[in-house]
């Protein structure tokens, strides 16, 4: 794989990180105010974007609609399936779930759209 084939990944990850920061600031009323928060969130978004890119390439996603299905499916399979059990165990509300992970769904869809157009 050439550098030009992956240069979009960190760029899209930065866009997703910015979206996540805004979601947390405006919707959750939580600021990214420490370096470790930025680093961990940046690490997570980089791997979100990389994973979506790998899946898009391996399954040869050939339309924006299919890429949105892949993005939503990845969110459902990896984010929701993993997180829902903790919400059930700790008794957190559905409202809290959507406030926390609704932004991730939008971030996955945004990233999938950008990956589609970048590749």
Question: SS in 3 state form for 31-81?
Answer: CCCCHHHHHHHHHHHHHHHHHHHHHHHHCCCCCHHHHHHHHHHHHHHHHHH
Mean pLDDT of the chain: 92
Does 75 score more than 90 pLDDT? yes
Give the pLDDT mean for 23-48: 94
- pTM, rounded to two decimals: 0.89
pLDDT at 90: 85
Does 93 score more than 70 pLDDT? yes
Does 5 score more than 80 pLDDT? no
| Percent with pLDDT over 90 in the chain | 72
């Amino acid at each position: 794989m050439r550098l030009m084939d992956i240069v979009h990944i960190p760029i899209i990850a930065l866009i997703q990180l910015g979206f996540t920061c805004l979601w947390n600031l405006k919707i959750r009323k939580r600021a990214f105010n420490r370096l470790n928060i930025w680093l961990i969130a940046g690490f997570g978004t980089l791997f979100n974007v990389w994973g979506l890119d790998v899946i898009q390439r391996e399954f040869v996603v050939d339309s924006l609609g299919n890429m949105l299905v892949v993005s939503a499916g990845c969110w459902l399979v990896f984010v929701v399936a993993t997180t829902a059990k903790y919400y059930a165990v700790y008794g957190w509300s559905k409202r809290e779930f959507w406030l926390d992970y609704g932004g991730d769904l939008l971030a996955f869809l945004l990233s999938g759209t950008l990956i589609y157009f970048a590749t």
